[in-house]
Amino acid sequence: SWTKRRKTVVSSVAAASLLFSALSVFQLTQPVADAEPEEVAPPTCYGARAIMNDCDVEDLHGEVVPAVDHAADDIHGQFRCWREAGQDWPDCSGPKETDKDVRVAIIGDSHMAMYVTLLNHIADDRGWHIDYYLGNGCQWTTAMDEYELCEDLHEVVERDVANPDDPYDIVITSAARWAVFGWDNPVEGYVEAWEPVIDNGSELVVIEDAPNFTDDSMACISRVTFDPTVDDCAMTVAEAMDPADRLPEATEESGAHLLETHDLFCTEDGCPAVIGGIVVYRDTVGHLTNTYVESMRPYIEQRLDEILNNG
């Protein structure tokens, strides 16, 4: 009958509509595949090379990596040897027996951990051995009355890293610029904590902290209409450097070596959220994507060599 045929048609249309809706939802919510480097920028303008070679956004190809919705998870081993608050130090912490000629200790919080994968690559290429002292709230300082998240860091460092009978060749540290909130004497706290290691003859390398990443810049790159060939969603230098990083001042006062990074993130015009087609930050507390950190390797390695060769 006509009624029966009408019900069949309506049912078919409804089913098709549901199928279309399901496909539409799938298309909207499925993960965006990360682009290949050649889809992002020419080699001389990929990642950190773009800011060092004075490339322009027009030099990019229109894709970004990692995809913005993947950036928060772009860590690739940065936290491979990480101590969560209240937990025991992992097995990869502490000195190990090694036949390698150069022993390296890495100490700090998550802003130091951002460089772990990169430093591991450098160490593998050079035959260095690395021990790790990384964890939540593990800023290497005496400026805090007590470590709520990393209470035994001083004890562990004094025992393992500041041991005058078995000094490390190289010690590398960094810390989040915003961690100094509430500290009475941040510079003096760093200097006092580092002094025993420097006195033992270890080369102490302090990595200048990365900029902060603002909510406005995060919102900018998260727009559906975001186009890296038009807008790099930069912050002003003043915004990105607030609060001030106290590590450079402490490094100068202590006699340690500063590995400068500011020019890898900022120009006098601002600090872009996307550099050379790479999303720089994972979040709004200044954590870097590993993809961008890896693009910094030639500059980090060159500066590290200059420090160690002239130390």
Show the tokens assigned to 225.
Answer: 């209409």
Annotate 175-217 with DSSP letters as a single string: --GGGGTT-S-HHHHHHHHHHHHHHTT-EEEEEPPPPP--HHH
How high is the pLDDT of residue 198? 98
For 286, the 3-state DSSP assignment is: coil
Map residue 239 onto helix, strand or coil: helix
Tens of pLDDT, residue by residue, the chain (311 residues): 433 333 443 344 344 444 333 333 333 333 345 778 788 889 999 999 999 999 988 888 889 999 999 999 999 999 989 999 888 899 888 788 888 899 999 999 999 999 999 999 999 999 999 999 999 999 999 987 666 778 889 899 999 999 999 999 999 999 999 998 878 899 999 999 999 999 999 999 999 999 999 999 999 999 999 999 999 999 999 999 999 999 999 999 999 999 999 999 999 999 999 999 999 999 999 999 999 999 999 999 999 999 999 86
* Tokens coding 121: 């690559």
DSSP helix/strand/coil, 274: strand
Instruction: Return the closest-CA partner of residue 95 out of 105, 87, 82, 109.
Output: 105
Per the DSSP assignment, residues forming a β-bridge with 270 are: 267
**296: Cα separation from own chain's centroid:** 11
For residue 182, the model assigns a pLDDT of 79
> What does the H/E/C string look like for 27-49?
HHHCCCCCCCHHHHCCHHHCCHH
DSSP state for residue 99 in the 8-state scheme: -
The candidate with the shortest Cα–Cα distance to 203, out of 96, 305, 98, is: 305
The answer for residues whose C-beta is within 8 angstroms of residue 311's C-beta and 6 or more apart is: 203, 257
Boundaries of every domain in the chain: 1-30
Q: 73, 99 in Cβ contact below 8 A?
A: no
Cα 281 from Cα 155, distance rounded (Å) = 33
